[in-house]
Amino acid sequence: MVSVVGPAQASLAECEDAFAASASLFAAACAELAAPQAAVMTHAQLEDLLGARMREVTRQLFQDHLTLRARDEVRREEVVDAAGVGRSRIERGRHRILATVFGKVTVVRIAYRGAGVADLHPADALLNLPDAMHSHGLARLAAIESARGSFADACERINAVTGSGIGHRQVQELAVGAAVDIDAFYDAVVPAPCTDTTPLILSVDGKGVVIRPEALREDTAKAAAAKGGNAMKTRLASGEKHGRKRMATLGAVYDAEPAPRTVDDIFADPDRQDDAGHGAAPERRQGPKARSKWLCGSVTDTAVQVVSAVFDQAEHRDPGHRRCWVVLVDGARHQIDLIKAEARQRGVDVHIIVDLIHVLEYLWRAAWCLHDSGDASAESWVARHARVLLGGGVQQTVAALEEAARAAGLRGAQRKGIDEAVNYLSGKAEHLRYDTALERGWPIATGIIEGACRHLVKDRLDITGARWGLSGAEAVLKLRAVRANGDFDAYWTWHQQQEFIRNHQTRYRDQVIPTA
């Protein structure tokens, strides 16, 4: 009797043959679980056993699939590189190692060769293989874990999850490579739709990062060298630090629907009679909420370049300058000058507002010139003057502080806090129009960028003992920013596409990869 094997049966038979090694490992794992020894294992022991066995089964499945691809690879009729040079000879069985999240596998494929030119491997393009040994999956883990904690912790975590045996330096190199397309990604992202009535909020700030000597900016390096000339050998000299810092500049752009408020929504009147017997106090209205937040940061770019990038993002959202642009700053003169210069160059009107929290700090310094330490009445004093400021009375506040110092008979150092407050308020008066900001529903505090400085820089780049190289610090800062923006998954898809273009597509004529 002659048996007839149909297409589906033949396919199944071929599949069983191609994945025999994987099936054998899986069968061995099943037998191990069915053995008497497994019956006395705890659930934790079973987890460890299955984790190790199934990782190897999965690695072998990956390898069997690659072997199947190699067996079925058909020679391409024509393979021509980007310079128009053809490859007339082939070499079968050319192999390379790929380190994956399951372990190392071997990729075997046809190499297309020519005289005096590099070999081409169209099969590599179909797999979108990386230029180096480590897979995109390992690179993704390195990016996530390096942005989350130290490179040593990232290395330990990756090896615990994958068993790949990856090293500390390799994790850092993968993280640096993972961040290369972040700027281009944001240039290509289509901004969320917004009405012309939605204010566009910009903010810039800086935070120091401890950097290795070779990565310091020129002026800081010269200062460190000058200090080091007289340094002691066994201990630090007076005022000397273990590490020198390089400034990381951060920027933020976000949309915020107007939320008009009054002075009472910010500070209750300390002189108002207690309303406890007349019902509850009126509920304070909340300020504008940030949405579509975009954060950026850099230790390699100058403050000028970061400010320019912030304005680029703002123009990406509002190319016609139809919306109201509000810039929140902490009052640093250098920042304000850079923002004004960039706005002039682009022909856009910006409303610069100095962060209210920074202004309050000056009022508190003035308060301690007139009150004893711990005096509870100082809080009411600050609140009264803050309410005047919020109502647009900058000059009125300055005059009141001057009069308070004269009435108290303060002289010299006794009135230092008041003098500092007067000078600050007078110098920043044009940027303290809180009455306008409240009426139009704009934010008046730099909480978004202050939070970014803490989250992007301090919580990772300022961990104990960290001394950064430039490339590692830049990569981690950008990766933390893209994760904070909630864009990492979308970015990673984009990054893999760019890797395909860089490593494969650009190597072929007309960027067309030949098929069988």
pLDDT at 5 over 70: no
In a domain, 462, yes or no: no
For the chain, how big is the Rg over CA atoms in Å? Answer: 32
Give the β-pairing of 89-100 and 244-256.
unpaired
Q: Give the domain-ending residue among 53, 72, 91.
A: 72
pLDDT average, residue stretch 458-475:
86
Residues 326 and 445 in one domain: yes
Which structure tokens are listed for 143? 């990016």
Distance of alpha carbon 109 from alpha carbon 373, whole angstroms: 78
233 domain-assigned: no
C-alpha 93/C-alpha 107 separation (Å) is 9
- Asked if residue 424 belongs to a domain, the reply is yes
Q: pLDDT class for 10, splitting at 50, 70, 90?
A: very low
> What pLDDT does 1 receive?
39
Segment 412-417 mean pLDDT? 93
- For residues 146 and 211, state if they share a domain: no
- 516 vs 444, residue with greater confidence: 444
Q: What residue spans of 261-302 are helical by DSSP H?
A: 263-266
Strand ordering across the sheet containing 325-329: 290-298, 244-256, 200-211, 325-329, 350-354
Residue 2 within a domain: no
Mark which of 431, 455, 479 sits at the end of a domain: 455
Q: Closest Cα partner for 239 from 226, 252, 257?
A: 226
> Which of 72, 99, 120 represents a domain boundary (last residue)?
72
pLDDT at res. 240: 44
Whether residue 177 sits in one domain with residue 61: no
Tally Cβ neighbours within 10 Å of residue 429. 14
Please say whether the beta carbons of 381 and 367 come within 8 A. yes
Q: What is the DSSP letter of 507?
A: G
pLDDT for the residue 280:
59
- What's the average model confidence in pLDDT over 148-162? 92
Q: Are residues 427 and 306 in the same domain?
A: yes
- 421 in the same domain as 353: yes
- Residues 303 and 329 reside in one and the same domain: yes
Share the mean pLDDT of the chain. 89
Considering the domain architecture, whether residues 86 and 204 belong to the same structural domain is answered as no
Residues 153 and 53 in one domain: no
Q: Are residues 384 and 323 in the same domain?
A: yes
Asked if residue 12 has pLDDT above 80, the reply is no
**Per-residue pLDDT reduced to its tens digit, 164-176:** 889 999 999 999 9
Question: Residue 6: its pLDDT value, please?
Answer: 45
Q: Please report whether residue 265 resides in a domain.
A: yes
Assess if residue 1 is contained within a domain. no
Task: Give this prediction's pTM.
Answer: 0.84
| 256 shares its domain with 183 | no
Q: Which two tokens stand for residue 501?
A: 């273009």
Q: Look at residue 461 and tell me if it is in a domain.
A: no
Nearest to 472 by CA among 135, 149, 151: 151
* Residues of the domain holding 126: 77-189+487-516
Report the C-alpha dihedral over residues 11, 12, 15, 21, rounded to 10 degrees. -160
Whether residue 334 has pLDDT greater than 90: yes
Kindly tell me if the per-residue pLDDT of 426 is higher than 50.
Answer: yes
If asked whether residues 43 and 141 sit together in one domain, one would say no
Amino acid at 87: R
Q: Is the pLDDT of residue 54 over 70?
A: yes
Q: Strand order of the sheet with strand 89-100? A: 89-100, 103-114, 117-120
Q: Give the count of domains, the chain.
A: 3
Judgement on whether residues 105 and 248 belong to the same structural domain of the protein: no
In a domain, 122, yes or no: yes
